[in-house]
Chain A
Amino acid sequence: MSTPKLSWPGRIEDGRRVLKYVDALSEAVALEMARDKNVFLFGLDVDDHKAIQGSTRGLLNRFGPERVFTTPLSEDAMTGVAIGAAMAGMRPIHVHIRMDFLMLCMNQLVNIAAKARYMYGGQIKVPLVVRTIIGKSWGQGAQHSQGLHSMFMHVPGLKVCAPSNAHDAKGALIAAIRDDNPVVFVEHRLLYSTEAFVTEAPYVVAPGRARVCRFGRDVTIVGVSNMVVEALRAADLLKEAGVAAEVIDPIWLAPLDSDTIVESVRRTRKLVIVDNGWSMCGAGAEIAARVAESCAGEGPLQIQRLGFAPTPCPPSPPLEAAFYPNPATIAAAAYKLARPDAPAWVPDAAKAELAYQLQFKGPF
């Protein structure tokens, strides 16, 4: 019996396949659905012509309406349904087109999914993936743009993943589907069109392993979700100013590989954390605390957090631009730590354009 083709063509560069983040997501799900008949995907609009901005495209045709289906606008109960199906041995993937909608799922995720394994004495498990997308840009506004991953990092029993590139998106989503625990899988809308080398065969990007994206001796920059892309742009700008930044992508926020970050900061003694969320009680606060606890008493240590401005997200372009960290603000903050005695430095505005803006054009 021939296997139906499950991979996406992408394009070939230097003899290797380059794939978009959005296609890496659907390829990961297709491979896992073909491998395990208990995997199913559901959520509002997963089966319509827009296919969750393309990320579920092709799945309905391949796997049919019993395994790929929409839901009523009932995020609370649908999360419970996913949990119940998972307890019965299935492996649901519940999709939300915006992370803001997860606030409607909090009771089920926090009170049942996260605790079921423990409070039921190990009698059941909840292998559930909650796919969710952070929106940004072109006027998404206060309720279509929130990065709320830290709320889920707070709760024992949940895993949280926020891949920043197509390669990790595929491997981490496969890992999440195979995981026996509930995983909140955080995607970013503006990463969807970004490309990376992605092999066709299934592979896993395992929980709890960070990636050093770039090596540098002067300052460590940790990015979260799409802020990894901005941090890499900032590292390019810093290079021109003679500063070598090490850029780390945690990939998984829970479990969090703080060892890789601590090892880097032990060398640089300087850490900038760029979150795709608010700083207050955020992922950056946790990373900063762990680094401080690990490196205390070993010598001078400087830490700077960057994140959303402490406001709701406004849609007006100049206000929105001021709301987010960007390569220029990241580079300036890192420079200040790396060169404390030098005059303040701001990168060239034209060169500091946001990475995704080179590709992204509105409207949504």
Chain B
Amino acid sequence: MPAKAKSAPKKADASLRLYRSLRRIRRVEEEIARLYPSDKIKSPVHLSIGQEGIAVGVCDALEKRDAVSGTYRGHATYLAKGGSLNAMMAELYGKDTGCARGKGGSMHLIDMSAKVLGTSAVVGTTVPVAVGYALAQKRLKTGAVVACFLGDGATEEGCFAESLNFAALHKLPVVFVCENNGFAIHEPLSKRWATDRLCARVATYGIPAKRFADSDTVAIRRHVEKVLPKMRKGGGPIFIECLTWRWREHVGPGEDYDAGFRSKAMLAKWQKKDPVAKAAKALSAKQRVAVDAEIEAEIAAAIAFAEASPFPASEELGTDVYA
């Protein structure tokens, strides 16, 4: 049952929508970082701050029926695709109202009602799962596609190569999105890759591959939107490599520039490309103020929801081990 094609949005609407999504994700994660020292959040967090433009650009081009598969650094993907903010915040608090009922945590976010597939703490593991979900979309003829987010580290896993080959062989509807922030935990690409020609590697599978050196939200959105009609008709997967920068530390709320493995000058360089600030420029001050106020109210309500929600009853330990 093919869904109705989305009517082309007016440019002004799109600018507002992109800003809202970007700003919302940024502010959610800043609030998480603010709350983190209070020990109310009971889950290690891998913040996407600085990288939000990729998730927002890709997800804005998707339809409701399309799925996303994210990584353990997945708050942005989850929120950009429409995952429930209340359920995410409650999950971070370990509450029964969390998206995984307190059994997943920040690294295992899921919201199937918004077609956000569950994320994994084992790098690369979700890539073939996303491909299998796409195989089912093709077999079931839903016309839906899957956007499969992965980090630069995941491209080193064997299952990444296996997944590309299978997706290309069966012409599966997958948008592979590599968020290349240059580091696997603390190890730079120079210590992990023989060459940085990732797109060339991927292209040998017969998958069109494109690099976005600045990860401009609008450019990514435009590219994905352009390829989707063909992909829905069996055109096969595409790959995009989006260079980006993780502003904060690998895990936790702080920064890691004092550790000496990456420079603050690079942060400054990337902050000039800040996707949130860039999107803000497309709006009037009045528009921004209104959107920001809405976002703050929504986040405050989500935190209040998480704090007021009950923990799971101890009997819940044994439920859902089996379906």
Chain A residues within 8 Å of B, Cβ to Cβ: 40, 66, 71-72, 74, 76-90, 92, 107-108, 111-112, 116-127, 156-157, 159, 180-181
Pair A80/B169 contact, Cβ less than 8 Å? no
Pair A123/B136 contact, Cβ less than 8 Å? no
CB distance from B313 to the nearest CB of A (A): 14
B131 at the interface (CB under 8 A from A): yes
CA–CA, A119 and B131, complex, Å: 20
Interface size of B by CB at 8 A reads 42
CB distance from A96 to the nearest CB of B (A): 15
CA–CA, A117 and B108, complex, Å: 11
Task: Provide 16 A-B residue pairs closer than 8 Å at the C-beta atoms, listed in order of the A residue.
Answer: A72-B162, A77-B127, A78-B166, A79-B128, A81-B166, A87-B132, A107-B122, A108-B129, A112-B129, A116-B118, A120-B103, A121-B102, A123-B111, A123-B118, A157-B322, A159-B322
Pair A85/B135 contact, Cβ less than 8 Å? yes
CA–CA, A87 and B133, complex, Å: 7
Pair B321/A77 contact, Cβ less than 8 Å? no
Contacts of B134 in A (CB 8 A): 84
Contacts of B162 in A (CB 8 A): 72, 74, 76-78
Contacts of B99 in A (CB 8 A): 121, 123
Given contacts A72-B165, A72-B166, are A77 and B131 in contact (CB under 8 A)? yes
B158 at the interface (CB under 8 A from A): yes
Pair A124/B166 contact, Cβ less than 8 Å? no
Contacts of B135 in A (CB 8 A): 81, 84-85
Contacts of B128 in A (CB 8 A): 76-81, 83-84, 108
CB distance from B133 to the nearest CB of A (A): 4
Pair B136/A89 contact, Cβ less than 8 Å? yes
Pair B100/A119 contact, Cβ less than 8 Å? yes
CA–CA, A314 and B176, complex, Å: 45
Q: Which residue of B lies closest to A75 (CB)?
A: B162
Pair A88/B166 contact, Cβ less than 8 Å? no
Given contacts A72-B169, A77-B166, are A123 and B112 in contact (CB under 8 A)? yes
B259 at the interface (CB under 8 A from A): no
Pair B320/A121 contact, Cβ less than 8 Å? yes
CB distance from A254 to the nearest CB of B (A): 10
B49 at the interface (CB under 8 A from A): no
Pair B139/A122 contact, Cβ less than 8 Å? no
Contacts of B166 in A (CB 8 A): 71-72, 74, 77-78, 81
User: Which of B102, B122, B133, B163 is close to A88, meaning CB atoms less than 8 Å apart?
Assistant: B133
Contacts of B12 in A (CB 8 A): none
Pair B118/A124 contact, Cβ less than 8 Å? yes
CA–CA, A94 and B28, complex, Å: 41
Given contacts A85-B133, A90-B139, A119-B118, are A77 and B320 in contact (CB under 8 A)? no
Pair B104/A120 contact, Cβ less than 8 Å? yes
In chain B between 263 and 318, which residues have their CB closer than 8 angstroms to a CB of chain A? Answer: none
CA–CA, A118 and B132, complex, Å: 20
In chain B between 135 and 158, which residues have their CB closer than 8 angstroms to a CB of chain A? Answer: 135-137, 139-140, 158
Given contacts A71-B166, A90-B136, A121-B100, are A80 and B320 in contact (CB under 8 A)? no
